[in-house]
Chains A and B, each alone.
Chain A
């Protein structure tokens, strides 16, 4: 198939960016979206033009590195996948496809379609873990966890930290990302010890970094490649309110 690509090009963080059009011909419908971009880049390099920069790594939908905003959707038109798993059979011959970086203030552009998502690392560092140190922990069977709770925790823990939720949100809210981590630990006995500290610290860090608030449009859940449910946000709100009201531990 033949396509027109309208791609955001931006030299570096300081430069002013803009769209540039590229014609690509003979794209296989079995190729992935990123392989289609590889072919475009290979042709640009052959012409000694600078290739389009984009983040990608595992190319099997789990590392969370790829992050393209395609035709107005983070990770493109298909559901429950990352950009690297999007295949060209989802497009039609003659289509014009718009490709942009994640757009939100806490994720500044580094170059072209590459953004800086270190704000997510900062949020995790604020408390997205249990404080268990290596060694000296009890046998794994000492604590029982219901299959139901383990499955819910796993649903939340499958977040890949790609940032599609932020890119999808008109407020650039990181609530789904933060809530997924808060939920995982709130559901497990190992995480309960620090749950009041954790939720307060992570929410405070998220606010400090400039992520917006949640206004319940659910765009994050719609666009999440791992289909993480907004019910996690409800759980986080309960945890947060509980911690604030009970004031068991003020942070």
Chain B
């Protein structure tokens, strides 16, 4: 078994990053322009990294699949970004942010990485303000903060319900500045289809230009993947339609281990599923839980009557309502972490108390409107209420919203060491695409923080420790056998698909995969179901390679081909998720195994057996991935059972 070296610097956790930066190797300014770096993705992590590396003087090639780098899915994040500024003076600190993040992650994250995240969080806010990000302000002119699930302090900075958009546009501005200067060359509508490894080092990528189907080679001294997560393995999720797992899976097949794929976040506040034709699920920001109260009817007959439309939810008396989060978790109430809130909603609906289609619970603003007035609620959540009304056609000021959990974020990702380097030298992973900071569950407003931390303040430094060795290598040629082989394998993959003259569309298979994943590897899992998923997914893949039909040709704008290529990766991803979930015989954070729960139905961790990162190595098509373990050690934090009661 390969030993995973996480390369955590020595010393107390609070000094590691300072010590690291003081001693790492750097690339001097005149050498930087001799170094090429590929960054795949233009979200918060990729866009910020490409911009920062460009500013430093490296030659950056940046890739995105949309028509503009401004459209990466980071843009859809609503609620906010955490930082340990302690501006409200409510007792926050770097240590407390670090502590909450490790605890929220159910003690399955890497302590040193999480501490660094908390440490750079304050710089992120400064950076974004300098870029002209219009964060919410108080009348004093100072920045406003709000609280978010899983925290007892107000440390979340926000820009209405569009925080992700504003932060991404900040990074996009910085990136645009570098594109103009010529340090970053931007490739829009390009999809990475393979990683090129030369002499054990990541040296380039193969892409498909989605406008004309051209297959191209790009070389570099290092490659950064920042392409987000894999929630679309469920087909229905809050991710964008094009969100895919291509770059990490291609890298996995080239030797980059994939860590903790079982850790997926099911977000508690999404608009419920309404029909078979549905293409995606819409998130309602978790910030709504600050003022909204979640409930279902206390009596089954009331739930049935509400489902049948015989009584209106607003007419149900207080004593007949079950505010189940407040009942079960009095200390945190409606602000418990996402995994806890999601499972509690599922538990009530499974028990027959759901509303709407039966798979929904109420999120009620009646009391908040009474307390604060409709104007205050409109100022806080107006755009979210409007979005809800456009989709569902009911007015949340008058009748409670209906919500249900949906796949939203994935804590697992490509395994990285402290420097965010994968098991392939020269290949780095940032943002949601890597694994380490959130453990088994991510707290609200931490994804934006991590994406920008990696992109602005971690990757641009740690990558130099690697590149310092590369200054005399010279430009990487693309006419070598490794590039030939990678390009040929991409072309073969495409021609194999185009030659299948089956009868079914790519979406047909994606939906079927989604059903398997949601039913057997979703919010709650058991051995039998996971084994079933591991039988079904390869069968579905086999059927796909017999019966899929791709219209058109590969040399044109062809969304059907794009979808088919991505589904192949999602098959691998589904198998990885189920394999990891089966191996992890415990419940923690976003991974819940029915066999391992307390008598009250809470997650039961097994620290003696599973306090490790599960990193999976690719062993060939159809072969079971091999498990490698990175033991987790907690030095600055005492490991406890998570308790939000």
- Are the CB atoms of B174 and A145 closer together than 8 Å? no
- Report how far A118 CA is from B176 CA in the complex, Å: 12
CA distance A161 to B557 in the complex (A): 22
Check B277–A31 contact: CB distance below 8 A. yes
The reply to whether A114 and B393 form a contact with Cβ atoms under 8 Å apart is: no
The segment from A1-9, A184-192, A212-220 found at the interface with B is A184-192
Measured between beta carbons, the chain B residues less than 8 angstroms from A121 are 68-70, 176, 179, 186, 188
A248: interface (CB < 8 Å): no
Contact of B67 among A48, A118, A141 (CB under 8 A): A118
**Closest chain A CB from B133 CB (angstroms):** 8
Q: Could you give 16 example pairs across A and B, Cβ below 8 Å?
A: A42-B505, A42-B508, A53-B557, A57-B240, A62-B165, A63-B73, A85-B387, A121-B70, A121-B176, A121-B188, A128-B173, A130-B173, A132-B131, A134-B52, A135-B127, A185-B132
Task: Convert B120-163 into 0s and 1s, putting 1 for each residue whose CB lies closer than 8 angstroms to a CB of A.
Answer: 00010111111110111111111100000000000000011010
Give min CB distance, B86 to chain A, whole Å: 11
Q: How many angstroms from the CA of A188 to the CA of B267 in the assembled complex?
A: 35
Q: Are A120 and B85 touching (Cβ within 8 A)?
A: no
Min C-beta distance of B549 to chain A, whole Å: 7
B177 within 8 A of A: yes
B173 touches A124 (CB 8 A): yes
Q: Nearest 9 CB-CB pairs, A to B?
A: A129-B173, A144-B141, A137-B130, A132-B130, A153-B134, A154-B134, A134-B52, A140-B129, A45-B505
Which of A31, A134, A153 has the largest number of chain B CB atoms within 10 A? Answer: A134
CB contacts (< 8 Å) of B126 on chain A: these are 137-140
Binding stretch for chain A, among B97-105, B278-286, B308-316, B482-490: B278-286
User: Which chain B residue lies CB-closest to A155?
Assistant: B134
Which of A33-41, A92-100, A232-240 has 4 or more CB atoms under 8 Å from chain B?
A33-41
Pick the contact of B123 from A42, A61, A131, A135 — CB < 8 Å? A135
Find out whether the CB atom of A81 lies under 8 angstroms from the CB atom of B173: no
For B165, give the chain A residue with the smallest CB separation. A62
* A-side contacts of B135, CB under 8 Å: 140, 150
Q: Does A58 contact B (CB under 8 A)?
A: yes
Answer whether residue A103 sits at the interface, using C-beta atoms and an 8 A cutoff.
no
Tell me the bound Cα distance from A114 to B132 in angstroms. Answer: 32
Q: Is the CB of A89 within 8 A of B390?
A: no
Known: A42-B508, A116-B67, A157-B159. 7 other contacts (CB 8 A): A35-B279, A44-B551, A60-B238, A60-B282, A140-B135, A141-B87, A184-B134
CB proximity of A43 to chain B, nearest CB, Å: 10
CA–CA, A245 and B117, complex, Å: 48
Contact A51 to B551, CB < 8 A, known contacts A62-B165, A140-B143: yes
One of A55, A85, A111, A130 near B131 (C-beta < 8 A): A130
A160, B165: Cβ atoms closer than 8 Å: yes
**CB-based contact B137/A57 at 8 Å:** no
Residues of A within 8 A of B174 (CB): 129, 132-134
**Interface size grouping (class) on chain A:** 35 or more
Chain B 448-507 interface residues, beta-carbon cutoff 8 Å to A: 456-457, 460, 503, 505, 507
- Chain A: interface secondary structure? loop
B64-93 to A contact mask, C-beta < 8 Å, 1/0: 001111110101100000000101000000
Given known A-B contacts A57-B242, A147-B139, A134 and B66 have beta carbons under 8 A apart? no
The answer to the question of A46 belonging to the interface, with a C-beta cut-off of 8 Å to chain B, is: yes
A26 to B440, CA, bound (A): 43
Q: Are B560 and A30 in contact (CB under 8 A)?
A: no
- Least CB distance from B269 to A in Å reads 13
| Given known contacts A35-B279, A62-B162, A126-B180, A133 and B55 CB-to-CB distance under 8 angstroms | yes
Q: Which B residue sits closest to A31, measured CB to CB?
A: B277
Name the A residues within 8 Å of B73 (CB-CB). Answer: 57-58, 63
Contact A132:B143 (CB < 8 A) given known A62-B75, A121-B176, A158-B165: no
Query: Is A70 close to B, CB under 8 A?
Result: no
From A60, A129, A157, B166 is in contact (CB under 8 Å) with A157
Assess whether B280 is in contact with A59, with CB atoms less than 8 Å apart: yes
The answer to whether A87 has its CB under 8 Å from any CB of chain B is yes
Q: A147-B137, A185-B132 are in contact. Are A65 and B507 (CB under 8 A)?
A: no
Interface 1/0s, chain A 59-74, versus B by CB < 8 A? 1111111000000000
Q: How far is the CB of A104 from chain B (nearest CB, A)?
A: 15
Say whether A161 contacts B70, CB under 8 Å: yes
CA gap between A58 and B75 in the complex, in Å: 9
| B277 in contact with A131 (CB, 8 Å) | no
CA distance A147 to B177 in the complex (A): 28
Inter-chain CA distance A117–B457, complex, in Å, is 31
**Cβ of B176 and Cβ of A129 under 8 Å apart?**
yes
Closest A residue to B271 by CB, please name it: A60
Q: Does B636 contact A (CB under 8 A)?
A: no
B76/A62 in contact, CB under 8 A: yes
Residue A21 interfacial (CB < 8 Å): no
Q: A158 touching B162 by the CB < 8 A rule?
A: yes
The residue of chain A having its C-beta at the shortest distance from the C-beta of B553 within the complex is A50
* Chain A proximity of B72: nearest CB distance (Å): 8
Inter-chain contacts of A39 with B (CB < 8 A): 277
Please measure, in the bound complex, the distance between the C-alpha atom of A30 and the C-alpha atom of B272, giving whole angstroms. Answer: 12
Whether the Cβ atoms of B241 and A59 lie closer than 8 Å is yes
**Chain A residues within an 8 Å CB radius of B552:** 50
Given A87-B393, A118-B67: A38 and B138 within 8 A (CB)? no
Tell me which of B71, B127, B138 has the highest count of chain A C-beta atoms within 10 A of its own C-beta: B71
Q: Quick one: CB contact mask for A71-89 with B, threshold 8 Å, 1 for yes?
A: 0000000101100010101
